[in-house]
Structure 1
Amino acid sequence: MATEVYLVRHGETMFNQLNKVQGWCDSPLTVKGIDDLKRTARALSQVHFDNMYSSDLKRAIDTVHLMKDANVVSKIGKIRKLPEFREVFFGSFEGDDIDQTWIQIAEEAGLGPERDVQKIINQVGIYRFREATKRADPRHLAENTEELDERMTRGIENLQDLTKNEDRVLLVSHGDFIKTLAIKYWDKSDGKHDIEFPNNGSVTRGILHKDGQFEIVDYNKDAENL
């Protein structure tokens, strides 16, 4: 039996608003973030889910409860938290100014002092960007490509086991993590190059097949387009 997975990105947070690096560190949802999520929750209120899951970070947990409270056709019990679906870890850069962080990473990648992350990734590629992030991190704690891929694979395998008797589930995760999943599992991605960053409160839909394969079938859909 295949399981349909609705991947929702959490709402805007204070660190998003303040332009700070936010991976495993956390900050509360903003008023705008909550308002945007309410639109997503309304759009999904008539979609039946057998279960709802979340990353174990608070911004994701707060988001999944907004989805749960608005849904009128699902009977959801306790939310299970899945640490494998946390955001990408940025090591020592967590909480730092995001522009200054990108400049350090760009210089480590052999570029000039560039603060536009999309331009950096376009020039060096997403995988070299991850490696440069780990090297630029003074403590070298940031996740590189291999570490992140291992965590994604472990997360999909765990989700496969948890949802084997479920037809449709909702899972709240994070922008860079969802984007990286799509780079690997979306047929509109070539598996190597960057794609657009998902919006706060957007929905990405995937299918977990009974043979263990995972595929993304819709990416970064806003509430108005669900």
Structure 2
Amino acid sequence: MAWRMIGGSHGYATRQEMFAHESIDTIKDWIKEADPYHDAENSEEYWDRLDKGFKMIGELDGAENILLVTHGFTIRSIWYRYGDNIPLVPGPQNASITLMTMDEKGNIKIPFWNEMSL
């Protein structure tokens, strides 16, 4: 129901249709527009929050390996921003593994995604 409220006014009946044809940042902006409680973030607010977290991780002393557990929308967002043409549809499988690497300068890459084992 919520996805119809978000995408319906833009011609989409399902979230899969939106993910197949729109940027995830556009979808974030539409989510904010459709939020009746005005709690949702647009793409700029969303990335500002995540970038602060990634910066904090990069500044941790001695932290070489970090497990980041999150939901599918954030995983898709990370794929979209840092992956090399990773398809957003069908999206991450439940309990799948995406490897995100960050170098000393804060550059982020996605070596693999949506794997069910290491």
Q: TM-score normalised by the shorter chain: which range applies? A: 0.7 to 0.9
The answer to whether the 8 Å contact 2:58/2:102 transfers is: yes
Quote the residue 2:72 is aligned against.
175
Counterpart for residue 205 of structure 1: 99
1:105 aligns with 2:30: no
1:17-166 to structure 2, matched below 5 A, reads 100-109=1-10, 111=11, 114=13, 116-162=14-60, 164-166=61-63
Moved over 3 A (4+): 193-196
Q: CA RMSD in A?
A: 2.0
Q: Deviations over 1:166-210 (max 9, x none)?
A: 332322222211221121111234xxx735421221111111111
Which consecutive unaligned segments of at least 5 residues does structure 2 have? none
Q: What is the aligned residue count?
A: 118
Larger Rg: 1
Runs of at least 5 residues in structure 1 that lack an aligned partner in the other structure:
1-99
Query: For residues 99 and 22 of structure 2, what CA distance do their matches in structure 1 show?
Result: 28
Normalised TM-score (structure 1): 0.47
Q: 1:196 to 1:158 in 2, by over 3 A?
A: farther
* Aligned mates of 2:18, 2:112 — CA distance in 1: 26
Q: Name the aligned partner's letter for residue 197 of structure 1.
A: G
Aligned to 1:168, what secondary structure does the other structure show? coil
State the identity %: 28
What whole-Å deviation, never above 9, does each CA across 1:16-51 have from its counterpart, x for those lacking one? xxxxxxxxxxxxxxxxxxxxxxxxxxxxxxxxxxxx
Distance in 2 (alpha carbons) for counterparts of 1:178 and 1:123: 18
Tell me which of 107, 113, 118 is aligned to 1:219: 113
Shift of the 220–169 alpha-carbon distance from structure 1 to 2, 3 Å rule, reads same
SS in 2 for 1:170: coil
Q: How far apart are the structure 2 equivalents of 1:120 and 1:211? A: 33
Which is bigger in relative contact order (C-alpha 8 A, separation at least 6)? 1
